Amino acid sequence: MAKTGTVYLTGAGPGDPGLMTLRALEVLKQADLVLYDGLANPLLLRYTNGVCERTARTRIDSRAIVPQEEVNQRLVDEAKLGKCVVRLKGGDPFIFGRGSEEAVALEAAGIPYEVVPGITAATAAAEYAGFSYTHRSHTSAVAFVTGHEDPTKDESRLDYAALAAFPGTLVFYMGLGRLSQICSQLMDNGKAGTTPAAIVCRASLPTQRVVQSTLAGLPEAASDAGLKPPSLIVVGECVNLRQADSWFERRALHGLKIGITSADHQISQTMNEVVVQSGQPVPMPLLEIHPVSTAEAERVRKQLGDLKRFDWLVFTSSNGVNEFFRHLHEAGLDSRALGHMKIATVGPSTADSLKHFGLLSDVVPQTYRAEALVEELSQQVNGQAVLWARANRGRDTLAEGLQSAGATEVTSLVVYRNQDVLQLAEAVTSQLKSGELDWICLSSPAAAKRLAALLEAASIQQATAGIKLAAISPLTAEAIVQSGLTVGVTATEHTWTGILDAISQYQRDQQQ
Ligand code: SAH
């Protein structure tokens, strides 16, 4: 029999993926199975290799489909199979999260478990909306209250007289559906209708919304704003500390849905950058990187055995750098084999990738395009042999240009294949159709062409869909225009960070 596994009752934090604890990250990395609830941000699932399953899908009446007893039993059964199980729950697992019921079931079954606390929604709601429940000058107590009690109980266990008299801030979880009753019961029990009150909807998420009013005016204000769960109701003087927009809501990418079309290792990093600026990243891989065929790999191996011949090594993409070094290492060589050559890269990202292998680029043109690289190199390659590590497709401008500049030889070495992502095309198309995307970031002419093809195949007009395009470089911008699409912004610094900076700048300009 397998050794019994451990169950981790883990807080996922309130929504912003950065608000999960280090311990939660550690256990996610070890998990064989992750059972997550509807409030845990799915972006966190990137940190696990375990099988991920959602336990509670909410129906229109907001009742969970998977009954709690079933979840409890499942945790016990999976642990008995020897699995490391993470039960990932929004906020803190024990604050209205029924995590304590799961702990009792595990205890009864003798299953080892650990509780990993999380930042509860209320904490994040105040801080991300710009007020503090316990600000010295307003109040010195705060109460977390459930607005949705056990539906099997006939009578409310909440003592509204005590709540109305409570000398501090009241925060109601799960109360939106009963907002009117909550407000009137508080007022009936003597709480002033003029008490400041607010609803914080989707706290700490890019779609966060805050409605501010008084206890008497809150139900109408909430229904005018069309707020939906998950939301918290906050009643107390502290609400007045809120400025028009909080530090979080003022971030340049706040609320924007941004399609990230990167195919490579940079996607995760770029998604994080969007999240940090309070935007919503949507992974939309258009192209994918594949290893070369066996015949091509053989050719690469041969060339790598004959590097002495070359005076220059040229890279035109980060993938080119990474794949070139993979081949080099597979051939039993390392950076020392390149010591006699000068190296040129097309832009800063490519040059950065090179640094990971301990090498600096001798030439990085100011503008990120093959023509600029040719111009920089034209004085230097006369009578020299050039090796160009590249993808299976793309422009030949570089080879032609260097040859005209007098290079004795320009050998194109295909070190990776660039292919259309076919499997995910449907998912990408449905994103395009959703009408919710604000921006799509494009990092190569090939990606621009692929996007244009997908839009055309689905008969989607860029303008009608309201999608703006951000190009990494003038070359990509040109390809966007040539494909019949419109460019919103072009990055000044030709990196993914540069693209996001350009979008931020555009948004700031729009707001002024
Ligand atoms: N264990 C969770 C709470 C689960 S109860 C925690 O500690 O946060 C579910 C309720 O939490 C929702 O109905 C809502 O009132 C609140 N909630 C959870 N996430 C929220 C968010 N991001 N913004 C506002 N309220 C949230």
Residues 428-448: tens digit of each pLDDT: 888 898 889 999 999 888 899
| Cβ–ligand 1 contact at 97 (below 6 Å) | yes
- CB-ligand 1 contact for 173 (6 Å cutoff): yes
Dihedral sign from CA coordinates of 33, 37, 41, 42: positive
Task: Tell which one of 36, 39, 123, 280 to mutate to probe ligand 1, the residue whose CB is within 8 A of the most ligand atoms.
Answer: 39
Q: Which residues, including other chains, have CB under 8 Å from residue 448's CB and lie 6 or more apart?
A: 442, 469, 471, 476, 479, 480, 483, 485
DSSP state of 153: -
Q: Residue 232: CB within 6 Å of ligand 1?
A: yes
Residue 120 alpha carbon to ligand 1 centre in Å: 7
Distance 14 CA to ligand 1 centre (A): 7
Task: Identify the residue whose C-alpha is closest to ligand 1 atom 11.
Answer: 173
What residues are paired with 416 via a beta bridge? 391
Q: How far apart are CA 360 and CA 345, in angstroms?
A: 10
**Which protein residue's CA is at the shortest distance from atom 9 of ligand 1?**
174
Ligand 1 centroid distance, CA of 230 (Å): 6
How much distance in Å is there from the Cα of 115 to the middle of ligand 1? 18
The whole-number pLDDT of residue 425 equals 80
> How many angstroms does the Cα of residue 105 sit away from the middle of ligand 1?
23
Residue among 173, 178, 234, 248 whose CB has most ligand 1 atoms within 8 A, to mutate: 173
Question: What distance in angstroms lies between residue 157's CA and the mean position of ligand 1's atoms?
Answer: 20
Q: How far is residue 12's CA from residue 482's CA, in Å, rounded to a whole number?
A: 45
Contact 56 CB / ligand 1 (< 6 Å): no
* Ligand 1 binding pocket includes 39 (Cβ within 6 Å): yes
What residues have CB less than 8 Å from 357, skipping those under 6 apart? Answer: 321, 325, 335
Tell me what pLDDT residue 64 has.
Answer: 52
Give the number of the atom of ligand 1 that is nearest the alpha carbon of residue 119: 7
Quick one: pLDDT at residue 60?
A: 44
At 265 the pLDDT is: 66
Tokens 């996610």 sit on residue: 28
Q: For position 234, what pLDDT does the model report? A: 98
Instruction: Determine the pLDDT at residue 62.
Output: 52
How would you list the strands of the sheet with 113-116, edge to edge?
51-54, 33-36, 85-89, 7-11, 113-116
Residue 449 Cβ contacting ligand 1 at under 6 Å: no
- For ligand 1, say whether the CB of 203 is within 6 Å of any of its atoms: yes
The pTM score is 0.79
Nearest-CA residue for atom 24 of ligand 1: 231
Is the CB of 13 within 6 Å of ligand 1? Answer: no
Sign of CA pseudo-dihedral 295, 297, 303, 305: negative
Nearest partner of 235 among 169, 187, 144, 136, judged by Cα: 169
Q: Which atom of ligand 1 is nearest to the CA of 208?
A: 23
CA of 231 to the centre of ligand 1 (A): 7
Task: Report the phi/psi class of residue 323: left, alpha or beta, with left for phi > 0 and alpha for psi in -120 to 50.
Answer: alpha
Burial class (CB in 10 A: 0-12, 13-18, 19+), 155: exposed
Which strand ranges, in their side-by-side order, compose the sheet holding 280-283?
280-283, 257-260, 439-442, 468-471, 489-490
Task: Give me the residues of the chain with pLDDT under 50, please.
Answer: 60
* Tokens 């945790």 -> residue: 75
H/E stretch holding 330: helix 318-330
**Contact, 491 vs 472, CB < 8 A?**
yes
Q: Does residue 87's CB lie within 6 angstroms of at least one atom of ligand 1? A: no
231-235 and 169-173 strand pairing: antiparallel
Choosing from 9, 41, 55, 96 the residue with most ligand 1 atoms within 8 A of its CB, the one to mutate for a pocket test is 96
231 lines ligand 1 (CB under 6 A): yes
Mean pLDDT of the chain: 91
Taking residue 503's Cβ as centre, other Cβ atoms within 10 Å add up to 24
Distance 192 CA to ligand 1 centre (A): 26
The verdict on the CB of residue 94 being under 6 Å from ligand 1 is no
